[in-house]
Structure 1
């Protein structure tokens, strides 16, 4: 989405090891099989000089969410102060061309290290199956100075507030990309969705690839065919439609993973 759970201890345990698109935890999630991530995308424009039109990765769903059973090592507050802590340091440039400078921020009060989140975002954007495979996109994380976009991990209420500025109703459940902010819903980062119950870390890469893809100018697509990898720009939270889980815009041979465009 441009201006764009799953349950249990297993997902939270994975989260503890790592430090945008999105669904509430459903009791049925625990019954889902494990998933695998593979590489999608299409050429993207260079740095944006004006805010891109907002897009949502997925529309809000009826509220079926409930806390995961058992004790949680990661609190999942519904709202926060709306202010952020910036991840320290910076990364090297990845990709060809003039790099898009981005900052990674975590809302204050969230018990997740900004450094861990930044490392996940860096790995995703540097992966050869990511957007740099288009041959002209490049990225560099910074901690200060001018930026082209920001990746912000925030509570559901804060995500809703920022996304609403772009005219989006994210319903406390989904991510968005709006006004150069890639807004990542805390529950999605920790709990993923029913299709990624055993690959929460992979789902985080899908969030980043989908929302950054919107920032780069990519719209939604759908499943290209039964048994094929689900495109990163597909609204996978709504269902895979016969495709298999995949979090990358490109495959390992540098071919875009995409499908028919959808509104």
Structure 2
């Protein structure tokens, strides 16, 4: 994998424990701590140093070679359904976004995504004027050590489900989530986008990052404010736009915050 010689290994993801319930919703008692489609718990891991598992973590299911899921419109893209459960930490010097809140990017091994390239895309999203850094409101800086207060992990669907299950969520192999300070980004969504989103996967990645980081910053889910209006970034757009227009950013081009009614 590109960039792995300059990257640090970190621990395994927790064992996949997918609940039987089909809805990926947060139990009321966990709503303040765990929000589906969000940013999350950081797990220890410093350059050149093995990290210890998070509380409750175990060994993931073995990698099931050959299992893939999802395809682009022309059928040319597929993603592995499961991976080894080990991650590579992106280098901290891939891109700088200021002297703000420290975050770390980790990518599951052997799934075709280069950690440093993914980190550069994430850094660009976090630094965008339409993002949470609008007006220097929130700034971020990428790190590769335990100082991270936010960890963004790109993982195969099975591994993402295992991470989300530690917070009581069933993400059904389809959704992203936030558990504590860890954001689990489902590889299927990272590579293929969403059929509900009118834009390329690259733009949908901005929605994933901005939505999850928004939860990490304390924002709750929102509903569509009205037909034809931009969907709030905190809206679960993958579940339908309800008359709104796809949107990946917290702020509009005019600098206005794109909000909507709070989900009851």
Common fold: TM-score over 0.5: yes
Residue 84 of structure 1 is matched in structure 2 by 87
Structure 2 unaligned runs (5+)?
1-31, 39-67
**8 A contact 1:129–1:249 mirrored in 2:** yes
Measure, in 2, the Cα distance between the counterparts of 1:202 and 1:54.
25
Measure, in 1, the Cα distance between the counterparts of 2:89 and 2:243.
39
Q: Residues 59-99 of structure 1, C-alpha deviation per residue, up to 9 Å, x if partnerless?
A: xxxxxx96438774x651111121100111333344xxx61
Residue 62 of structure 2 is matched in structure 1 by none
Measure, in 2, the Cα distance between the counterparts of 1:83 and 1:115.
16
Residue 252 of structure 1 is matched in structure 2 by 253
Residue 176 of structure 2 is matched in structure 1 by 175
Residue 157 of structure 1 is matched in structure 2 by 158
Measure, in 2, the Cα distance between the counterparts of 1:185 and 1:158.
8
Please give the root-mean-square deviation of Cα atoms over the aligned residues, in Å. 2.1
Measure, in 1, the Cα distance between the counterparts of 2:108 and 2:204.
20
How do residues 66-77 of structure 1 correspond to structure 2 at under 5 angstroms?
Answer: 67-68=70-71, 72=76, 76-77=79-80
Instruction: Name the CA shift for 1:128/1:105 in 2 (closer, same or farther; >3 Å).
Output: same
**8 A contact 1:190–1:200 mirrored in 2:** yes
Residue 26 of structure 1 is matched in structure 2 by none
Residue 24 of structure 2 is matched in structure 1 by none
Residue 222 of structure 1 is matched in structure 2 by 223
**8 A contact 1:191–1:197 mirrored in 2:** no
Q: Residues 177-222 of structure 1, C-alpha deviation per residue, up to 9 Å, x if partnerless?
A: 1121111000001111113364111000000000111111110001
Structure 1 unaligned runs (5+)?
1-51, 59-64
How many residues were matched structurally?
202
* Superposition TM-score, scaled by structure 2 size: 0.71
* Superposition TM-score, scaled by structure 1 size: 0.71
Match of 1:54 among 30, 34, 37: 34
Whose helix fraction is larger, Structure 1's or Structure 2's?
A: 1
Residue 100 of structure 2 is matched in structure 1 by 99
Measure, in 2, the Cα distance between the counterparts of 1:198 and 1:232.
14
**8 A contact 2:96–2:123 mirrored in 1:** no
Measure, in 2, the Cα distance between the counterparts of 1:233 and 1:178.
16
